[in-house]
Amino acid sequence: MDFEYSPRTKEYVERLEDFMQAHILPANARFHELASQGIYPLEVLEPLKARAFEAGLWNLFMPELEEDDPGTRMTNLEYAPMAEVMGRVPWCSEVFNCSAPDTGNMEILKRFATPEQKARWLDPLMIGEIRSVVGLTEPDTASSDLTNLSTTILPDGDHYVINGRKWFSTGAKHPNAKLSIVFGVSDRSEDADPHRKHSFILVPMDTPGVEVVRDVPIMHHHAPEGHCEVVYRNVRVPRDAMLGQAGDGFMLAQARLGPGRIHHCMRTIGQCELALELMCERAMERKTFGKMLADNANIQDWIAQSRMEIDAARLLMLQTAWKMDRDGAKAARVDVSMIKVTAARLQTQVVDRAMQVFGAAGMTPDTPLSYLWTWGRAMRFLDGPDEVHMRVVARSELKNAKSRHGANAAHFVAPH
Amino acid sequence: MDFEYSPRTKEYVERLEDFMQAHILPANARFHELASQGIYPLEVLEPLKARAFEAGLWNLFMPELEEDDPGTRMTNLEYAPMAEVMGRVPWCSEVFNCSAPDTGNMEILKRFATPEQKARWLDPLMIGEIRSVVGLTEPDTASSDLTNLSTTILPDGDHYVINGRKWFSTGAKHPNAKLSIVFGVSDRSEDADPHRKHSFILVPMDTPGVEVVRDVPIMHHHAPEGHCEVVYRNVRVPRDAMLGQAGDGFMLAQARLGPGRIHHCMRTIGQCELALELMCERAMERKTFGKMLADNANIQDWIAQSRMEIDAARLLMLQTAWKMDRDGAKAARVDVSMIKVTAARLQTQVVDRAMQVFGAAGMTPDTPLSYLWTWGRAMRFLDGPDEVHMRVVARSELKNAKSRHGANAAHFVAPH
Amino acid sequence: MDFEYSPRTKEYVERLEDFMQAHILPANARFHELASQGIYPLEVLEPLKARAFEAGLWNLFMPELEEDDPGTRMTNLEYAPMAEVMGRVPWCSEVFNCSAPDTGNMEILKRFATPEQKARWLDPLMIGEIRSVVGLTEPDTASSDLTNLSTTILPDGDHYVINGRKWFSTGAKHPNAKLSIVFGVSDRSEDADPHRKHSFILVPMDTPGVEVVRDVPIMHHHAPEGHCEVVYRNVRVPRDAMLGQAGDGFMLAQARLGPGRIHHCMRTIGQCELALELMCERAMERKTFGKMLADNANIQDWIAQSRMEIDAARLLMLQTAWKMDRDGAKAARVDVSMIKVTAARLQTQVVDRAMQVFGAAGMTPDTPLSYLWTWGRAMRFLDGPDEVHMRVVARSELKNAKSRHGANAAHFVAPH
Amino acid sequence: MDFEYSPRTKEYVERLEDFMQAHILPANARFHELASQGIYPLEVLEPLKARAFEAGLWNLFMPELEEDDPGTRMTNLEYAPMAEVMGRVPWCSEVFNCSAPDTGNMEILKRFATPEQKARWLDPLMIGEIRSVVGLTEPDTASSDLTNLSTTILPDGDHYVINGRKWFSTGAKHPNAKLSIVFGVSDRSEDADPHRKHSFILVPMDTPGVEVVRDVPIMHHHAPEGHCEVVYRNVRVPRDAMLGQAGDGFMLAQARLGPGRIHHCMRTIGQCELALELMCERAMERKTFGKMLADNANIQDWIAQSRMEIDAARLLMLQTAWKMDRDGAKAARVDVSMIKVTAARLQTQVVDRAMQVFGAAGMTPDTPLSYLWTWGRAMRFLDGPDEVHMRVVARSELKNAKSRHGANAAHFVAPH
């Protein structure tokens, strides 16, 4: 359980921080200016991507790579502080080819795609040439229970035919989005094993029948790349577009979510650090009723509370990354659920306090806080609502308790 | 302390509810369709306003009126359930000429304006012909302490010259916004009494130098009527545009805020009722892991908790309205602070639970929840941040304690 | 919904407050001195009871009485402020013949006892000659679900024979405790209606087989009158000791709990007022790091928060009392559940803050706070745990939602 | 930042757990039986101490020792899991010579006592022959600010004369308590440096004028060893009883508190694990309304929440121990404050949930929960109230923010 950052990690963090100062932060205002006009800021991003690629700050999230693949080959534990740094500027992950859902998509393509599928999709993703989408959540079903999902992927001669409606397909509005990885029912037989009924299939975005019907704002916020509603109407793809075997959907969904979930949590820690920094700085600038905000004991309590919560959450996150590195994502399943719930709550809590110190300005797009706060709330749904993850943790705990039954009898004291 | 709704109130509530069903709700989708295109939905509102005027559902918020003024002459206590009903559809207050900041503006004009000022501004406001704005909060000052505000209103011959920057001027984007009531420093002398240095002045929106520079979104949400940043550059108005006497600013600001604050709270109660209704209905429609959401004990706890909080908050709100009717806004100052804090928190809490039951859909504009939640958060700043109101309550409590000093000695038990 | 205290109520409150000042508070130290030595302070109580009886401050809790019965015949709403006042000194309810479980016992005896039962038990209870006990909760069953209770009350010739173990029988250690009203299974047949299987029976405390085996401390606190564990071993009572009909147990338990539950809540409000008063007074006496505690914004927030919570809870309590007076305890069932949960939480929260202001002294018996805090925690179990009451509230809310299904469709906005 | 337990630690934990199973838990009931009769259970403790000494499970808390001293020489990080295990049975620390306040007292004696003082007091403490007391907190002062403390330690010829009243002197009722280390003002001159005015002095408990006036219960709980009020009336001790130099009091108080504070936190983690285990086990045993408690989603949420909070707090505690080992107690001051606040809150929260699952039984001494809960509340005062520690954390954070001022400007986006 050694969470110390290695010399290599420290050096990389420093390089990344330098890059942020030199290149990302100076571009921040321009990014938002374009985005607010509805223009995807490729003119900001493309030169930065080239520069990051050159600087070797690329594919930081991917622990294992083929010999020729560009990337840093960091463990999850090593990636954690990098993701923290990137999290401070929400749009910048793309610069380092580390943005969702590409990260998760690259991971399952790497593990489960055929050589042909890899050549067509993984290779351009690895160098940031294209971007990708995942089609999972559906508007009219309680999607936290994957067995509820109803999009169909049905064989028809040499093809599969896809019909359904997905939403929250992040990135579908991105000008470079070329691939959608779609989850759906491939076996409709009554007696099918409910965990072998679904599959993932690779759908080129330009296939006839794929329609991005709208960009769904999250708490009124339109992400530049979109969290889109996408309709699939009689979309035909050849048989070899299936990812893994038909029926592998559940297994792939599980494999896909582990590291992706924790990446969000890592960025959260960085975003909460930023919010705490801003809160402290603001509290030392503002005076009301004859006193600096920072001299009020309630605001000091908020600051202290935030520091305690952030530090505890970071350690939980590092422990999860470390366990994932050592034992694999599956073994760390309960840990992932724990940090997922913890991080999402952390973000709404810490940023809420920072906003309150900022006053009305905290609600405006002039500060990063309103976005961080609403995004924190969204994180309580992302990759499964809190309640699903709490259930995972509780069931694991109860299972342990069962195996220990009776062991604590001596702690009870007979009446005397 | 009789909060029972009178027969008259009950009859009015019923008429209002019928109006909502018959006219407001059927127009809801169209309103949002236009608003989302950046068009102020006058085509929806104007016919509804005419109809409401005719139906006598007009100026419901105004307890006292001149003989000829249109309106219902309801007390604050009588208005409470009306505001609850209107709160359920956030845009509809305008239909009944009950929307902020017109309500507060009409109140101070009624009490403090000269006959000429009334004829020019109050009369058209009373019949919904024009709308108005208030210029209070400033972007670069901690505005919760009004002594910090720095816009200047300085005499220059027969005129006052106004210079400054205001934001969160609600309604400045409204096509009918004709009047801005601006707060600023009218006495810059060193030895001026800090509570007699400021004034309110009446500024026609079309005066040269008044510029609406942008609409500031609140948590990414652009209100159709705008929460605007407005710059006043060498704006000249004649001397008789002063509201009350020079130096009356503080006194007017206090007078203005009392009832206005509680109107927000009344609407909150209605909005929380709506959120609770939606939460229950959704919980009975959705199934995960083989069980309806409504059958889960955690969701039942959220429902019960919400009901308890709403009922308690409503009673606190009714008590404040009743006290305001009986003793005046000034005497109810501590009560207003209490309900203001309570209501804003209530809204974020109850709506947060409802969103969680809705899953991802709760974050989208397809449901009213995301707006109600972010607006609830904004309410924690509106008319003063929570902390300022808590301070008012605490100081009142400590003052009482001082007068009682020593009375509780017998509750302490000497060691034995 | 008129909660205003009537002139009669105000006069009674004043008389009661005078009595507290003149007689109860001066006896407070002596009461605790004796109690801490394990002596039930009858020498303190009996003269005070005589005085209260004479002063007409007697049986304040009982709304309806026979012509000759002593008492004030107050409604629940009128009783509320009286209970608040009494609550401030936890032991003093007995002085006014208003202490649990006598109050609940008198109520069901009054409604359901035979003339003979009344003469034997109710009459001496009404004049404070004896005290009584209720045997409901059992140590080895989840007693919040009454169907779990397993003590047996089985017919045997002209008698019933009672076997079982009860605990938290409040008052069983009181020197005047003469009667135990015991709840148990009177019908063990397989096909018995689960809500007609149980009965209440009247058991003289001196019946052979009744054994008070221990006084169970609540959070280490031994109540002077005891919360006792009582064993019933082959206890034989004549047939006419049955209260109501065999099988009436459930119905009587429901009837018994309504007003009793709300009495606790009324006292809670008074106790929270006391805690808030003490907190304010202490905060103005103590200085740390060069500043009075009362001048710290965090402590001001605690004070304000407490005031807001107390006022809201009091209104909820008054509304429940008012509804109970108007519509009966059964109709107010959901309200009773709401105030029960609200009050218990209130007490732990408000007193917790007060303790923190007192520092270590708050944990000692020198202040009333440690008792009020642990008792507040106990209230979360008393008369049913929070979760059972939340369930009642949620089910009522869901039932309402069902009847309204679809009515809110227009609040959803079609995607555009 | 390597928190992995070393093979040596793991072996020791196993040995300690075996000892607990074999010797401590079987003695638990007898310990409480004696303690509840007011007898200090030396007959239970002394044989266990001899056995633990023999087994080498002795002075586990003490990182550095002289060559001949008995003990394990564990770092704070190594001690952490040992303290967790011991924490599960609150009275058992004494068996391993690891109980407060002896631990803190041994530490300062070791660092600051003269050889003569060591021979007289430290040596018998090290082998568990005697026990000791610390006299710090005073009943009539806000003791969280040490400058408020007013007991005097004044030179008079060859002696110091001590006058004052201390309370919460843990262990003063212990039959082996021989030494009290008393904190007081040794320099009353007006112009004295406020941080050089106080001293610690070594007072034999049998010195004339030392009187243990009462044992102060904490939330009604009388600790077997007592948290006593001790009066010092003209207590004369020779000059060489001074610990360190006159005026060293502050410095010694700081040195004393570091590790002692974190020992409490370590035990808390173990106690919370126990509470969570008991909660899970109980939830699988109890059925209400046709369902096991463990199958209710609200109870599952409590379980999951507890697991998340415990794991995060443990990591924070381990990090503090690790930092203390590496950089010293002073460098870890802010960390100690953070874990101190976190742990105390954790304990009340986790145990509160467990109690609720236990129902009324949770409030009784039959389970360990009521003690753990009230003790958790006491921990919010122990070694300084939460608010003092929050202040330490906030001031450190604000200091950092000051040094960084302006660095975050690019995160703000100019209005567009």
Residue A3 pLDDT: 83
Q: Is the pLDDT of residue B416 over 70?
A: no
D290 touches chain B (CB under 8 A): no
Q: Are B138 and B167 in contact (CB under 8 A)?
A: yes
Burial class (CB in 10 A: 0-12, 13-18, 19+), A65: middle
State residue D4's pLDDT score: 83
Residue D416 clears pLDDT 60, i.e. is over it: no
> Is the pLDDT at B375 greater than 90, yes or no?
yes
What single DSSP character describes residue C5? P
Q: Where are the alpha helices (DSSP H) in A205-332?
A: 249-283, 297-327
Cβ-count burial of C53 within 10 angstroms (0-12 exposed, 13-18 middle, 19+ buried)?
middle
Superfamily of domain C132-243: Butyryl-CoA Dehydrogenase, subunit A, domain 2 (2.40.110.10)
Instruction: Give DSSP secondary structure letters for D262-294.
Output: HHHHHHHHHHHHHHHHHHHHHHTT-EETTEEGG
Q: Determine whether the interchain pair D283/A398 forms a contact, defined as Cβ–Cβ distance below 8 Å.
A: yes
- Going by DSSP bridges, is the β-strand pair B177-185/B131-135 parallel, antiparallel, or unpaired? parallel
Residue A416 has pLDDT above 60, yes or no: no
List all chains that touch chain C, counting a touch as 3 or more CB pairs closer than 8 Å. A, B, D
pTM: 0.96
CB A85 within 8 Å of CB A16? yes
Look at residues A207, A195, A104, A117 and name the one whose alpha carbon lies nearest to residue A162: A207
Q: CA-CA distance, B353 to B373, in Å (whole number)?
A: 10
The 10s digit of each residue's pLDDT in B186-212 is 999 989 998 999 999 999 999 999 999
Q: Which residue of C has its CA nearest to D293?
A: C142
Amino acid D193: pLDDT: 92
Phi-psi region of B4 (alpha: psi -120 to 50; beta: other; left: phi over 0): beta
Q: How confident is the model at residue B322 (pLDDT cuts 50, 70, 90)?
A: very high
B363: pLDDT strictly greater than 70: yes
| pLDDT tens track for D97-118 | 999 999 999 999 999 999 999 9
> Omega before B101 cis (within 30°)?
yes
3-class state of residue B249 by DSSP: helix
> How far is residue C90's CA from residue C264's CA, in Å, rounded to a whole number?
11
CB C314 within 8 A of CB B405: no
Output the average pLDDT for chain D.
95
User: How many other CB atoms are found less than 10 A from the CB of residue D5?
Assistant: 16
Whether B214 and chain D come into contact, CB under 8 Å, resolves to yes
Residues of chain A with C-beta less than 8 angstroms from the C-beta of D88: 411
For chain C, say whether B41 makes contact (Cβ under 8 Å): no
Q: How confident is the model at residue B255 (pLDDT cuts 50, 70, 90)?
A: confident
* Residue B213 touches partner D, C-beta closer than 8 Å: yes
Whether domain C251-402 has CATH 1.10.287.110: the reply is no
Contacts for A316 with CB less than 8 Å, ≥ 6 apart = A335, A338, A339, A342, D308, D311, D312, D315
Question: CB burial class (10 A; 0-12, 13-18, 19+) of residue C231?
Answer: middle
What is the tens place of the pLDDT at every residue in B80-96? 999 999 999 999 999 99
The size of the A-B interface in CB pairs under 8 A is: 113
**Secondary structure letter of residue D119 according to DSSP:** I
pLDDT at C416: 55
Q: Based on C-alpha coordinates, what's the Rg of chain D?
A: 23
Predicted local confidence at residue B315, as pLDDT: 97
d(CA B27, CA B34): 11
Residue of chain B minimizing CA distance to A352: B377
Q: Is residue A406 helix, strand or coil?
A: coil
Kindly report, residue by residue over B256-288, the tens digit of the pLDDT: 777 888 999 999 999 999 999 999 999 999 998
What kind and span of H or E run contains D184?
A: strand D177-185
Q: Which residues of A touch D87 (CB under 8 A)?
A: none
Across the interface, do D364 and C218 touch by the CB < 8 Å criterion?
A: yes
CB atoms within 10 A of CB C43: 12
Residue window 15-34, chain D: list those with CB within 8 Å of chain C. Answer: none
Question: Does CATH number 1.10.540.10 belong to domain C7-113?
Answer: yes
* Chain D residues whose beta carbon lies within 8 Å of the beta carbon of residue A395: 300
Query: Which tokens in the block code for residue D101?
Result: 């306040």
pLDDT of residue B259: 81
CA D393 to chain centre: 20
Asked whether the CA dihedral C91, C92, C96, C100 is positive or negative, the reply is negative
**C-proximal residues of D, 80-139, CB under 8 Å:** 137, 139
D7-99, CATH topology level? Butyryl-Coa Dehydrogenase, subunit A; domain 1 (1.10.540)
Residues 6+ apart with CB under 8 A from A312: D312, D313, D315, D316, D342
Q: How confident is the model over D280-293, as a mean pLDDT?
A: 93
Interface B-C: count of C-beta contacts within 8 A: 196
Per-residue model confidence as pLDDT tens digits over B2-31? 888 889 999 999 999 999 999 999 999 999
User: What CATH number was assigned to the domain covering residues D251-403?
Assistant: 1.20.140.10
In angstroms, rounded to a whole number, what is the distance separating the alpha carbons of residues A341 and A334? Answer: 11
Q: For chain A, which residues make up each domain, given as ranges? A: 7-113, 131-243, 251-403
Distance from CA of A182 to the nearest CA of D (A): 31
Q: D414 pLDDT exceeds 80?
A: no
Instruction: Give chain C's residues under pLDDT 70.
Output: 1, 415-416
Residue B307: CB atoms within 10 A of its CB come to 24
B7 interfacial to chain D (CB closer than 8 Å):
no
Q: Across residues A202-227, what is the average pLDDT? A: 96
Q: What is the pLDDT of residues A136-172, one digit of tens each?
A: 999 988 888 888 899 999 999 999 999 999 999 999 9
Say which CATH superfamily domain B131-243 falls into: Butyryl-CoA Dehydrogenase, subunit A, domain 2 (2.40.110.10)
D145 contacts on C by Cβ (under 8 Å): 287-289
Give the pLDDT band of residue A334 (cuts 50, 70, 90). Answer: very high
To the nearest whole number, what is the mean pLDDT of chain B? 95
With CA atoms as reference, the chain B residue closest to D302 would be: B298
